[in-house]
C-alpha cells in the first residue's frame, strides 16, 4: 500500500468509528454485551399529585376536592393539566379498587398545553362526586389517590417535548357518612282511565 493511500485510509476508518451507534460503540469486548453510555432519560419528569389528608362528608354527590400538581424536577414540563386529565384511584370500603376520571381520549391543542416550571405548582378544584360518585354510594371509608393521566392525550402537532404518562399521589381518607344507597324507587304513574 502506498503512503498516499494510507493517509486517505485513516480518516475513512476514523469516520466509520464515529458513525457507530451508541450501542455499537459501547459494546464491551470482555463479555460481548452492550454497555449503556447514557441513561435513556437523564432528566425524568417528576410530577407529584396530592389531595388534602382527609375529607368527611355526608355523601359524595357534589363534593369538591382540590387536586395539587407539583413539578419536583429541575426542568419545565409541558403537558395538559385540566379536568379531562385528572382522575382518581379509589379503594372502596370492601377492598375493591377502581379508577374513575381521565378516561377519555382527547387531542391537545397548543393553547391548552400547560407548562410547569421547575418546582412549579398548580391546583384544580374537581367535583369528585361527578367522577366517582357511582362507586361512592354506600357509607364507609374510601382511600382516594389523585392521578394526572395524559396517556390518552394526543400531543399537539409538531410537539417534541410533550409529557404523556400517569402520576398517582398519596391516598386521602374520605369518610362518607350516609351515602346514597339504596337508590330511590322509581314511581310509575298508573295509566289514565279517562276517555
pLDDT digits (tens, 9 = 90+) for 116-165: 999 999 999 999 999 999 999 999 999 999 999 999 999 999 888 899 99
Of residues 28 and 75, which shows the higher confidence score?
75
High-pLDDT (> 90) share of the chain, %: 62
pLDDT for position 159: 84
pLDDT for position 193: 61
C-alpha cell at 117: 416550571
Does the pLDDT at position 187 exceed 70? no
Q: Helix, strand or coil for residue 74?
A: coil
Spatial contact of 147 and 169, defined as CB atoms under 8 Å apart = yes
Spatial contact of 69 and 169, defined as CB atoms under 8 Å apart = no
Assign a CATH topology to domain 47-176: Immunoglobulin-like (2.60.40)
pLDDT for position 38: 43
Q: Where are the domains of the chain?
A: 47-176
Sign of the torsion formed by the C-alpha atoms of 149, 154, 156 and 160: positive
Mean pLDDT of the chain: 80
CA distance 159 to 77: 12
CA distance 24 to 32: 11
pLDDT for position 183: 53
Beta-ladder partners of 84: none
Spatial contact of 172 and 145, defined as CB atoms under 8 Å apart = yes
C-alpha cell at 150: 395524559
Burial 163-182 (b: 16+ CB within 10 A, else e): bbebbbbebbebebeebbee
Does the pLDDT at position 41 exceed 90? no
- In the chain the first and final C-alpha atoms are separated, in Å, by 115
CA distance 98 to 110: 32
| Cα dihedral value 74, 76, 81, 87, nearest 10 | -30
pLDDT for position 44: 82
Question: Which residues does 87 contact at the CB level (< 8 Å), separation at least 6?
Answer: 99, 100, 101, 102, 103, 131, 146, 147, 149
Question: Which residues does 67 contact at the CB level (< 8 Å), separation at least 6?
Answer: 49, 50, 51, 86, 123, 124, 125, 126, 146
Amino acid at each position: 500500500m502506498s503512503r498516499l493511500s494510507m493517509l486517505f485510509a485513516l480518516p475513512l476508518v476514523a469516520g466509520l468509528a464515529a458513525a457507530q451507534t451508541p450501542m455499537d460503540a459501547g459494546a464491551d469486548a470482555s463479555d460481548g454485551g452492550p454497555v449503556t453510555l447514557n441513561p435513556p432519560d437523564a432528566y425524568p419528569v417528576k410530577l407529584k399529585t396530592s389531595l388534602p389528608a382527609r375529607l368527611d362528608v355526608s355523601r359524595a354527590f357534589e363534593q369538591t376536592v382540590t387536586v395539587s400538581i407539583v413539578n419536583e424536577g429541575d426542568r419545565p414540563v409541558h403537558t395538559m393539566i385540566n379536568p379531562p386529565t385528572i382522575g382518581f384511584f379509589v379503594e372502596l370500603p370492601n377492598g375493591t379498587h377502581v379508577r374513575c376520571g381521565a378516561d377519555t381520549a382527547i387531542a391537545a391543542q397548543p393553547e391548552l398545553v400547560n407548562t410547569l416550571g421547575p418546582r412549579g405548582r398548580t391546583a384544580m378544584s374537581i367535583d369528585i362526586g361527578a367522577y366517582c360518585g357511582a362507586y361512592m354510594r354506600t357509607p364507609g371509608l374510601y382511600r382516594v389517590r389523585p392521578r394526572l393521566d395524559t396517556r390518552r392525550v394526543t400531543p399537539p402537532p409538531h410537539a417534541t417535548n410533550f409529557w404523556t404518562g400517569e402520576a398517582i399521589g398519596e391516598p386521602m381518607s374520605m369518610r362518607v357518612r350516609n351515602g346514597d344507597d339504596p337508590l330511590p324507587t322509581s314511581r310509575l304513574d298508573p295509566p289514565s282511565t279517562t276517555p
